[in-house]
């Protein structure tokens, strides 16, 4: 008897992202009749996502089974795929604390969701929650359940979950590889579809080891573009990294600036200006979407009732400190809500390939099982992966250029200590992670770092496991 593939979205109250993911899934014929279960702890947002999902199915003229389920165990039962998009603690109180408390010590951040003291705290409050979810998947999910994770800090979570379970694989998914390739194609005025590349490393610190157009190496053109001074102002950090390390990194400049010790220093305002680094960028984005959400909700319920110009005016009236492109992106998101077009996310591609056997290649985050020889075995790496009925199969990359591997290892050490802090229930490893973090250690001494960790741990006490206290 035929049973449609069951896909569970945890964190489905992220309504816009949920809509994009479902649009991708239902645009593929093999998944058009899938059984989709939406789960979130916010009932209002869950109800809205359910209404949006039903309307999207009508627009696409597909007939899936759609349900909303506030009970996580019931949602996961019998699942073939779980897509995870949660954020433990949200903007308030968690993210606010991650930015405001370090400021008291002179430590400034831009995004704080991957590494740095903010990334460490986000990992500590997120990994235990996801390990509990993993237990549900192991005991209640289908025989070949695959967990697709979009949650940051990606490398830490992918590492922790795959170290815990071999029955349910967790594939970490990010869009930085394909988005950056598109950005570089635009910089070079070359159609993205004609770009050929290979990329590998760790999440948010993977590098294009090959970047070509019709067999021609494009790195000389990228270097010439930098020398001409015509690079985008918001991308100065990454072009500087290419100049000094020889290759272009996948994650955005504002992200990358806080993974290394060179760009954000309290006494060096000249560096912030030279490299156009937007401090407190992520809190600004959160404020943008707090302001935008009522517009988005009204547009989702009544298509055509809100205009990008109205939202942009509201955002400017708030005088939110954020990069200009974020205001434009939020405003123009309203027009995207009324259109159904595939995104660049890999989630639907993976599901389709496993269900149908139709091969695809994606970039995924997996454990380093002899994939990159000069990175630590067992850490989380981002590599090209073949996907078919046999699941997600990572590609062996061999060695990365030694300078790139050395740079990545400065981040991998911090990731490992956060994972071990949770696995060993060790508060000491939290201090160790913070003391070895490249950006934190470039600004604070060890006494300051311990005091900062203690203050952050107290602020996050309601979101952290008891065994840390």
> Binding site: what residues are annotated?
152, 174, 204
Pairing of strands 205-213, 216-217: antiparallel
CA distance 348 to 29: 11
How many alpha carbons fall within 13 Å on the CB side of residue 426?
14
Question: Which 3 state secondary structure label does DSSP give 282?
Answer: helix
Specify which residues 287 forms β-bridges with.
none
Q: Burial code of 264-291, b = ≥16 C-beta within 10 A, e = fewer?
A: bbeeeeeebeebbbbbbbbbbbbbbeeb
Residues 125, 131, 132, CA angle at the centre, nearest 5°? 100
| CB-side neighbour CA atoms (13 Å) of 336 | 15
Q: For 40, phi and psi rounded to 5 degrees?
A: -160, 155
Cβ neighbours of residue 422 closer than 8 Å, sequence gap 6 or more? 123, 124, 127, 128, 131, 160, 465
> What are the Cα distances from residue 158, in Å, to 217, 357, 359?
33, 25, 23
Which residues, 6+ apart, have CB-to-CB distance to 254 below 8 Å? 110, 111, 234, 237, 277, 278, 281, 323
| Maximal CA-CA distance, the chain | 68
Query: Which residues are part of a known binding site for substrate?
Result: 152
Catalytic residue among 44, 175, 213, 255: 175
The three-class DSSP label of residue 257 is coil
Q: Are 149 and 158 in contact (CB under 8 A)?
A: yes
Q: Is 460 designated active site?
A: no
Between CA 227 and CA 224 the distance in angstroms is 5
Nearest C-alpha neighbor of 147 from the set 244, 66, 81: 81
* Residue 169 neighbours by CB under 8 Å, 6+ apart: 146, 147, 162, 366, 391, 392
Q: Alpha-carbon distance 393 to 181, whole Å? A: 22
Residue 134 host element (H or E):
helix 116-140
436: which residues sit within 8 A by CB, 6+ positions away?
A: 413, 414, 417
Q: Kindly list the catalytic residues.
A: 175
């Amino acid at each position: 008897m035929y049973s449609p593939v069951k896909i569970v979205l945890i964190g489905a109250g992220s309504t816009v992202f949920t809509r994009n993911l479902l649009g991708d899934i239902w645009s593929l014929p093999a998944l058009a009749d899938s059984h989709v279960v939406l789960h979130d702890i916010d009932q209002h947002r869950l109800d809205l996502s359910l209404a949006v999902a039903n309307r999207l199915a009508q627009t696409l003229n597909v007939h899936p089974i759609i349900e909303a389920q506030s009970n996580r165990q019931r949602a996961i039962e019998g699942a073939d795929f779980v897509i995870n998009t949660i954020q433990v603690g949200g903007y308030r109180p968690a993210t606010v604390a991650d930015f405001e408390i370090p400021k008291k010590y002179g430590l400034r951040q831009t995004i704080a969701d991957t590494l740095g003291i903010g990334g460490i705290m986000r990992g500590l409050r997120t990994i235990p929650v996801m390990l509990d979810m993993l237990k549900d998947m192991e005991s209640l999910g289908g025989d070949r359940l695959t967990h697709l994770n979009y949650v940051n800090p990606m490398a830490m979570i992918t590492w922790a979950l795959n170290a815990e379970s071999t029955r349910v694989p967790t594939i970490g998914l990010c869009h930085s590889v394909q988005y950056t390739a598109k950005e570089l194609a635009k910089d070079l005025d070359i159609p993205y579809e004609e770009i050929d590349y290979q990329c590998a490393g760790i999440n948010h610190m993977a590098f294009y080891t090959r970047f070509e157009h019709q067999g021609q190496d494009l790195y000389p053109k990228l270097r010439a573009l930098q020398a001409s001074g015509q690079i985008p102002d918001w991308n100065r950090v990454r072009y500087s990294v290419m100049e000094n390390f020889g290759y272009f990194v996948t994650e955005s400049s504002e992200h990358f600036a806080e993974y290394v010790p060179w760009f954000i220093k309290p006494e060096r305002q000249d560096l912030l200006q030279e490299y156009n680094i937007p401090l407190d960028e992520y809190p600004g984005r959160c404020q943008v979407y707090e302001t935008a959400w009522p517009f988005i909700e009204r547009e989702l319920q009544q298509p055509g009732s809100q205009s990008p110009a109205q939202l942009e005016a509201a955002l400017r009236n708030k005088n939110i400190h954020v990069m200009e492109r974020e205001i434009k992106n939020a405003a123009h998101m309203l027009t995207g809500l009324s259109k159904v077009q595939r995104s660049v996310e890999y989630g639907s591609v993976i599901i389709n390939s496993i269900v149908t056997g139709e091969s695809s290649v994606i970039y995924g985050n997996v454990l380093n099982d002899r994939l990159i020889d000069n990175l630590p075995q067992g850490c989380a790496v981002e590599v090209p992966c073949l996907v078919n009925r046999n699941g997600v199969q990572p590609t062996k990359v061999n060695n990365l250029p030694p300078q790139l591997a050395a740079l990545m290892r400065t981040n991998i050490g911090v990731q490992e200590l956060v994972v071990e802090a949770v696995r060993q229930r060790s508060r000491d490893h939290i201090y160790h992670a913070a003391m070895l973090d490249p950006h934190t250690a470039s600004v604070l001494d060890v006494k300051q770092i311990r005091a900062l960790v203690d203050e952050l741990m107290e602020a996050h006490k309601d979101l952290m496991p008891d065994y840390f206290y």
